[in-house]
Structure 1
Amino acid sequence: MKVDLFDFDLPPERIALRPARPRDAARMLVVEGAEGAMRDCGVRDLPSLLKAGDVLVFNDTRVIPAQLEGRRGEAKIGATLHKRVDLRRWQAFIRNAKRVRAGDLIEFGGGVSAIAEERLPDGSFILAFQGDEPVEVLLERAGRMPLPPYIARKRETDAQDREDYQTMFAAEDGAVAAPTASLHFTPELVAALDDAGVGRETLTLHVGAGTFLPVKADDTDDHAMHSEWGRIEPEVADRLNAARASGGRIIAVGTTSLRLLESATQDDGVIRAFAGDTDIFITPGYQFRAVDGLMTNFHLPKSTLMMLVSALMGRDRMMAAYAHAIANEYRFYSYGDSSLLIP
């Protein structure tokens, strides 16, 4: 399938540089079925848009300050951690990588340094952090929140992003990008969902920096997804299966939750416990097995996530929805507005 099929023009002023305040004040475009009317709603309308017995599935990963600036000798080096290898080693994308060779020491300041152990086939490096302190402690000292490039190119990362780029469900350290659909939730919204009889469950998928990479291939068949580590506990899988058997809908909050749920589900539609890597790539023609809907932000043109939502709702339907969102001045991308997609 040609990647250009998922392209669209987005006015730059539609890219949100800060989240809505309060978080649940964001707008939400509701898209149901193949031909039904689209509705302009708000995130706070979610309890009335769902029904008792439905279950929202959140990703409880916590974003670490995975953006580092350092030096190898006189050369300036940037590093964005992508995926944990073990307790002291991370796979990282390197800026100015031509100045780095295997075995080089990169100094990141604050007493934080790492050896560039190995260059991988995709151009990234394995960084081995030095010393005895946990890597998470080192990153808190030397790292910055890894804002997406479309925000970082327009403004500096600041202290407010430490709070803004973290969901209320964040519990498990390891993500280098936020599961942004969950950024819209507040304790008040969760309480309203509880009152409406809408359930909630959590899983963990440590989102990698590969989520920001453009699809460089001309055809989807030639694109390789980066793998990410995820976990669904057995009791969570059991409760989700029971909810669905009772007539409830499973609504993934974010594409990260959706991809892990689909990775854990076989053709029989039963969600199973999961712990490991997934590189699932969902494009039109995919048969969904685990989810009945998706709450998600608006995605980049020609991105794997634009392909995913097109697989769920149909390409023509999503192109029309995005045209509606642009014409009605919705805010796009990580800090932007939301959509609720119910096939």
Structure 2
Amino acid sequence: MNTQITKMGSYPDEDVTFLLKDLSDISMEKSTTEREQAIQQGTHYSEMLPIEYKPTDEYMSLFYRSLEDTKHKVAVAVGIVAEQIIAERGFNVALVSLARAGTPIGVLIKRYISYKYNRELPHYSISIIRDRGIDDQALDYIRNAHPEHEITFIDGWTGKGAITKELTKSVSQYNETNGTTLSSKLAVLADPGDCSELYGTREDFLIPSACLNSTVSGLVSRTILNSKWINDGDFHGGKYYSELLSEDVSNLYVDTICTQFPLIESAVDKGLSEMMKESQKPQWKGLTSIENIQRDYIMDNTNFIKPGVGETTRVLLRRVPWKILVHPDAEMNLEHILVLARERGVPIEEYTDMSYSCCGLIQPLENKT
């Protein structure tokens, strides 16, 4: 194995270890329009990166406001999902967050378990890429480093469940190849797609870490899998945007949520008790919403439908949006979505036939080759 651990990211070493090949010195960013054209013409999204823009002052003020408004709710959800992990797996477990949206949530779960139980669990952040799978080299590394530990995979939220399916498929293949019995069960903070058994809440609300890109995820890029730079035996790649250090709120984010841990015990107990009364088996209700949107907006490709607050935010930050659909019951809680849409001149339409708070539709480019 020729994988090497390179110190990456702005989190303290004790919070997380990124198992990524450092590609910080390589220029591979493309503008939103260039990237959209390349993706729709067949280039895989993991072969390039979007440009990491400095967030606007207005957007940063929204982040701070949303963090203040939701810090207690996020902390409760962290506690609920962490308690489920401990109940199911015990303390002999390695936390493995899926970079990069899963990373801050993994840090929070690790910190909660340390606070509540005074136990320090290993936490790694590794790459999984839709249609390309999980980083097998990273899994090999973790298994070798912690041969007696189980692995729990962690992500931020669910949308359509594409990563949930990718994880199930990838882990099954890994187990078959290696004779292992890793669980592909995914723990998420929020599961609006109704496709995970381990979750803190199924409410589709704004998780503040969905507001920003690298500046709330340890200054690490999306993960990269491009044969120009990733050789056999390498970890998947990533970049560390040290030039954005003055804009970084990664540690502020987790530190702020952690201030709520002494205040959430009763709310966590109540949430767990309510969960026990109902089936946690995923019903995949989000897929019905996708089918409704696909029918009503005559969209051939469901990859252009990005449901939920987190995915809609990403569409507005990284893709070429066509429309934003907003459930009228949720509009008052979607200020950052409305601000971003106005900034980019994207039409907003009310739509009730979905289980999500909102949904981003990507513009199919004409005259594709």
Give me the TM-score of the superposition, normalised by structure 2. 0.27
Structure with a larger share of its residues in helix: 2
Higher RCO structure (Cα 8 Å, ≥6 apart): 1
> Whose strand proportion is higher, 1 or 2?
1
TM-score using structure 1 length: 0.29
